[in-house]
């Protein structure tokens, strides 16, 4: 994994491949950077703009062969800093990069620099932050900040790695194994329910969705329970390791990125690991609902009636509306444990992408929890928007043979919201929020900022920030 150290050395003395610093139109570049050299390159310090200079162009010399200068533009906005620094580190692609951003007196800005660099760096990269000025107390604070940033970035990269895994390698059984490995040695308990245990415990939704696959479903329960925990939060992650749509088969184009339909479970796993690494004083229980949705002679059919964890009977009218079935089981299990809050995260609906695009998740649920999650997302630098749950949408799930149907076949309007309304039936009166991250979880386009092509790890930073906010003094 990427390493990050804090050094008291002069940045010009760092033995790295590239020394990276920043410049903005108002304050210019650090004093050791020759302004004339940047001017000759036509460098305007626009956000993310990158200039490379040879060591000879640096006043007093430079141990690194290359100096890179990135335009920071809006230095008052942490997310702008994250993206600019992340874009530079990603484009430089060096194995050893020095960071010359002397902002120890501005913790929010320094944290953004570190986060952006870590989120963009290659796993094999070594990052060194140079802080030669100021007292040792400032460097100690910077080292603590670096450790926090690295714990979160490592958790994001864990979620990315799992989500990018080919579906013939990552299926419910192997996901469960990797989840256990990811928290090994940490203060996290792991319990895995196989198909037999799921049947005994009444997880009818997870079993039904997974019954058409040669890879049986799993439920992974992760528990981080620190001493003197202030609150208890349950996380429920959708973990469809591949979604063909089942007998309601998707088109070829609709299946291309469906290895990513487990990104919600990956984010929940990453959040639990980061909470343990950061010793956040909040109990966290995560339910990773893992199944592969495949067509076969054993698959669920439109018209089947299944009984979910909480006893509700659901008529399956669309086997491609499977995520809500596994989440309903997970939410019901979480609710039985009586946590202070339940938050589910899922790549749930194509309607989310239609409504909010590929970079902004929709957040629904009880108003207080929903708004707390949106605020945490904004602080963490992830896009999220509060959405309503209109009561009348429950009517689209009427069934003559069960308590509900699982899909609205007559009207596709408000698909993201109606899916949330369906899940609310299982959350009941719990303090619950639902994050639909179908678009932001996987980047099918070109890289941007610190975000790579492919899995993004969306949701990990939001969930961790939310847990930190709950632990903070009121």
| The pair of three-digit structure tokens given for residue 61, joined into one six-digit string | 């010399």
**Are the beta carbons of 219 and 195 closer than 8 angstroms?**
no
Q: What is the pLDDT of residues 315-357, one digit of tens each?
A: 999 999 999 999 999 999 999 999 999 999 999 999 999 999 9
Higher-confidence residue of 168 and 106: namely: 168
Which of the following CATH numbers is that of domain 3-154: 3.40.220.10, 3.10.20.600, 3.20.20.210, 1.10.10.10?
3.40.220.10
Q: Is 281 exposed, middle or buried (0-12, 13-18, 19+ CB in 10 A)?
A: middle
**Does residue 361 carry a pLDDT above 80?**
yes
pTM: 0.97
DSSP secondary structure string for all residues of 240-261: EEEE--TTSPPPHHHHTTGGGG
Residues of the chain with CATH 3.40.220.10: 3-154
Q: Identify the pLDDT of residue 105.
A: 62
Where do you find CATH 3.40.630.10 in the chain? 165-471
Percent of the chain with pLDDT over 70: 98
Annotated active-site positions, please? 250, 324
Percent of the chain residues topping a pLDDT of 90? 86
Q: Are 110 and 130 in contact (CB under 8 A)?
A: no
Cβ contact 333:222 at 8 Å: no
Structure confidence at residue 102 as a pLDDT band (50, 70, 90): low
What's the CATH number for 165-471? 3.40.630.10
- Mean pLDDT calculated for residue range 16-43: 85
Gap between the Cα atoms of 89 and 128, Å rounded: 12
User: Could you read off the pLDDT of 178-207 as tens digits, one per residue?
Assistant: 999 999 999 999 999 999 999 999 999 999
Phi/psi for 375 (5° steps) reads -65, -40
**Mean pLDDT across 119-138:** 91
Q: What is the overall mean pLDDT for the chain?
A: 95
Structure tokens at 334: 């979480």
Closest CA to 438 of 345, 321, 353: 353
Residue 38: what pLDDT? 87
Question: What pLDDT, on a 0 to 100 scale, did the predictor assign at position 319?
Answer: 98
How confident is the model at residue 411, as a pLDDT?
66
Kindly report the number of other CB atoms within 10 A of residue 265's CB atom. 33
- Read off the tokens for 427: 């959350």
Beta pairing, strands 454-455 & 442-443: antiparallel
C-alpha–C-alpha distance, residues 390 and 416, integer Å: 11
Q: Are 347 and 358 in contact (CB under 8 A)?
A: no
Binned at pLDDT 50, 70 and 90, residue 75 comes out as: low
Mind giving me the DSSP string for 322-384?
A: -HHHHHHHHHHHHHHT--SEEEEEE---HHHHHHH-SSEEEEEESHHHHHHHHHHHHHHT-EE
Residue 8 has pLDDT above 80, yes or no: yes
């Amino acid at each position: 994994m990427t390493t990050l150290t804090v050094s008291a050395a002069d940045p010009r003395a760092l033995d790295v491949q590239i020394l990276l610093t920043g410049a903005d139109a108002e304050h210019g570049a650090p004093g050791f950077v020759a302004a004339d050299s940047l001017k000759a390159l036509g460098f305007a310090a626009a956000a993310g703009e990158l200039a490379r200079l040879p060591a000879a162009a640096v006043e007093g010399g430079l141990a690194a062969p290359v100096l890179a200068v990135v335009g920071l533009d809006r230095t008052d906005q942490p997310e702008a800093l994250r993206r600019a620094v992340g874009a530079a580190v990603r484009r430089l692609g060096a194995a050893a990069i020095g960071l010359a951003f002397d902002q120890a007196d501005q913790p929010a800005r320094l944290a953004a620099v570190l986060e952006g660099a870590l989120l963009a760096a290659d796993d094999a990269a070594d990052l060194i932050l140079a802080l030669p000025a100021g007292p040792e107390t400032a460097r100690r604070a910077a080292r603590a900040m670096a450790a926090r940033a690295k714990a979160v970035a490592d958790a994001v990269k864990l979620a990315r790695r799992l989500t990018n895994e080919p579906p013939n390698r990552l299926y419910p059984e192997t996901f469960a194994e990797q989840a256990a490995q990811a928290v090994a040695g940490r203060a996290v308990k792991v319990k895995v329910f196989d198909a037999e245990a799921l049947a005994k415990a009444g997880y009818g939704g997870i079993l039904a969705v997974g019954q058409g696959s040669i890879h049986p479903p799993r439920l992974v329960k992760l528990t981080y329970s620190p001493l003197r925990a202030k609150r208890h939060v349950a996380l429920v992650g959708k973990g469809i390791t591949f979604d063909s749509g089942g007998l309601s088969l998707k088109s070829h184009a609709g299946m291309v990125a469906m290895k990513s339909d487990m990104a919600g479970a990956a984010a929940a796993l990453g959040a639990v690991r980061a909470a343990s690494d950061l010793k956040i004083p909040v109990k966290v229980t995560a339910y990773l609902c893992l199944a592969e949705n495949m067509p076969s002679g054993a698959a669920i059919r439109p018209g089947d009636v299944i009984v979910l964890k909480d006893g509700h009977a659901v008529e399956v009218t669309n086997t491609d509306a499977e995520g809500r079935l596994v989440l309903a089981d997970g939410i019901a299990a979480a609710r039985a444990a009586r946590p202070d809050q339940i938050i589910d995260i899922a790549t749930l609906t194509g309607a989310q992408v239609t409504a909010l695009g590929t970079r902004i998740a929709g957040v629904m649920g009880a108003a207080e929890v929903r708004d707390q999650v949106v605020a945490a997302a904004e602080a963490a630098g992830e896009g999220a928007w509060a959405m309503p749950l209109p009561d009348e949408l429950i009517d689209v799930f009427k069934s003559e043979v069960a308590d509900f149907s699982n899909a609205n076949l007559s009207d596709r309007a408000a698909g993201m919201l109606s899916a949330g309304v369906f899940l609310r039936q299982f959350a009941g009166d719990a303090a619950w929020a639902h994050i639909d991250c179908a678009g932001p979880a996987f980047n099918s386009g070109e890289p941007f900022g610190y975000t790579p092509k492919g899995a993004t790890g969306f949701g990990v930073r939001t969930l961790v920030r939310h847990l930190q906010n709950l632990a903070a003094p009121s």
